Amino acid sequence: MRYRVLGHVTVHDGPLGGPKPRTVLAALLLHANQVVSDRRLRDLVWGDSPPATVRSQLQIYVSGLRKLLGADTIQRQGSGYLIRVRPGELDLDVFNALVEQSRFREALELWPGPALGGCAESLVDDVRLDERRLAALEALFDGELEHGNAAALIGELRRLTAENPYRERLAEQLMLALHGSGRTSEALEAYATARRRLATELGIEPGDRLRDLHRRLLGGATPVPANTPVPAQLPHALEGFTGRHAELAALDADLAGWSGESVRIRVLSGEAGVGKTALALHWAHRVRREFPDGQLYVDLARMDPASALAALLRSLGIDKVPDLVDERAALFRSALADRKCLLLLDNAADADQVRPLLPGRSALVLVTSRVRLTGLVARDGARALPLHPRVRRGGNGVERQPERGHVAQIGVVLPHRVQLRSRQGLAEDPELVERTV
């Protein structure tokens, strides 16, 4: 690379001289291939105290840089100057490209020390390049925490939090690293230190994320790493859903009686068109805030267990998916461990299709199927909630029971079909829509 601004400002062509020509070059490089006005250069190089001869001094410094770099490298355009920089010549451009590719370790290797070394403080304070380095470090730490390398980060995180006491994301990562190394009491001490600094020196309380992590650690829960995706995959619920009060009450009771530590499985079964998916989605959307770590959805009519697990793992931020179904299932259980999630498995054909997709703990699983899945009830502790077509009362006040194959004549209403007909503007049999039993 020809130019370096990450660390001491240098140029491959030769020495730059004192702080002022170095600052002029750095100011131009930070706006490479763009015109920087004389006024802007004056502010960046001299700050609030420019000399009376600032115009002539600027011309002298630019002239010296042209002799070093080549007359065509720095050009006068309008009321300013432009430096031409080719791809790969400036370390900052290379750093930015590596960060965009999530190659954080390589990017940070380009940064030997504080940026813009040897330049005037007016430029350093204005640009604050070191913020980019901290952001890259935080992204790197997120990846290391996700891969279980917590212990190796503690020393560097302690140093960085001491140097940047108001940067809450670093404090959060230090707490995660300590907790992940089995040192939860020290993680709580780190929170107390961060909170005390913020309160004493800035007069503010920590942000929501840091306070939430503190609460989780106090409660003994395993916190979710900051960069872990929180999926919200539920398809939209049908507008105008009505009825099914008993079934909704049963689902609400399930949720109220669930500790959140185990896996709770509820199977909604019934014939095609009875409204299983509509009910499941209506209830799931209604209670989604009870599952802050994610709401997952799989249509098993379109996927086998292997494909479903691959899709679920990718939605949780896991790109390297094992080849074997059993290994995928184990990784899925690990990914959901101690995460309070809702999993909706729609259109299951049998229990064997469902079992590989069951989390190990702390999840509520809602399954819809045309069959009762008695094997899932007997072996896996699922709770059955069969759905029956709703029976309507005829105009003569006599309750009529359904008989197979005579839906239009006997007053049985399949909710999904009713909603579909209503949306299509089709008339219903008036005898079937008077009121629900």
Residues 273 and 196 in one domain: no
Residues 363 and 273 in one domain: yes
Residue 135 CB neighbour total at 10 angstroms: 14
Give percent of the chain with pLDDT exceeding 90: 52
Task: Indicate the average pLDDT of the chain.
Answer: 84
DSSP 114: S
Does the structure show a pLDDT above 70 at 248? Answer: yes
pLDDT at 400: 42
Residue 274 covered by a domain: yes
CATH number at residue 160: 1.25.40.10
Residue 166 covered by a domain: yes
Residue 230 covered by a domain: no
Residues 256 and 372 in one domain: yes
Residue 323 covered by a domain: yes
Residues 99 and 58 in one domain: yes
Which structural domain, as residue segments, surrounds residue 82?
3-127
Does the structure show a pLDDT above 70 at 242? Answer: yes
Residue 392 near residue 432, CB atoms below 8 Å? yes
Residues 381 and 298 in one domain: yes
CATH number at residue 36: 1.10.10.10
* Between residues 399 and 374, the one the model is more confident about: 374
**135-144, 290-299, 392-401: least confident range:** 392-401
**206-210, 280-284, 304-308: least confident range:** 206-210
**38-42, 91-95, 270-274, 391-395: least confident range:** 391-395
Locate the DSSP E strands across 61-160. 74-77, 80-83
pLDDT at 289: 84
> Which tens digits make up the pLDDT trace of 60-82?
999 999 999 998 999 999 999 99
Residues 371 and 394 in one domain: no
Final residue before a domain boundary, out of 127, 151, 178: 127
* Between residues 9 and 418, the one the model is more confident about: 9
pLDDT at 222: 61
Does the structure show a pLDDT above 70 at 398? Answer: no
Residues 417 and 319 in one domain: no
Residue 117 CB neighbour total at 10 angstroms: 17
**Residue 27 banded pLDDT, cuts 50, 70, 90:** very high
Residue 278 near residue 234, CB atoms below 8 Å? no
Residues 307 and 413 in one domain: no
Task: Tell the residue number behind the tokens 């490089």, with chain if given.
Answer: 29
Residue 420 covered by a domain: yes
pLDDT at 227: 57
Nearest to 418 by CA among 283, 269, 270, 241: 241
Residue 16 covered by a domain: yes
Residue 227 covered by a domain: no
**Residue 402 banded pLDDT, cuts 50, 70, 90:** very low
Q: What is the mean pLDDT of residues 341-363?
A: 92
Residues 376 and 251 in one domain: yes
Q: What is the mean pLDDT of residues 12-31?
A: 91
| Count of structural domains within the chain | 4
Residues 149 and 118 in one domain: no
Q: What is the mean pLDDT of residues 13-27?
A: 90
Residue 178 covered by a domain: yes
CATH number at residue 272: 3.40.50.300
> Which tens digits make up the pLDDT trace of 357-379?
999 888 899 999 999 998 888 88
pLDDT at 3: 94
Question: Residue 285 corresponds to which tokens in the numbers above?
Answer: 């959307």
Q: What is the mean pLDDT of residues 1-6?
A: 92
pLDDT at 245: 86
pLDDT at 81: 96
Residues 367 and 408 in one domain: no
**14-28, 185-199, 269-283, 312-326: least confident range:** 312-326
Residues 276 and 375 in one domain: yes
Final residue before a domain boundary, out of 98, 127, 156: 127
C-alpha distance from residue 309 to each of 234, 284, 312, 329 (Å): 16, 21, 5, 7
Q: What is the mean pLDDT of residues 257-270?
A: 87
Does the structure show a pLDDT above 70 at 151? Answer: yes
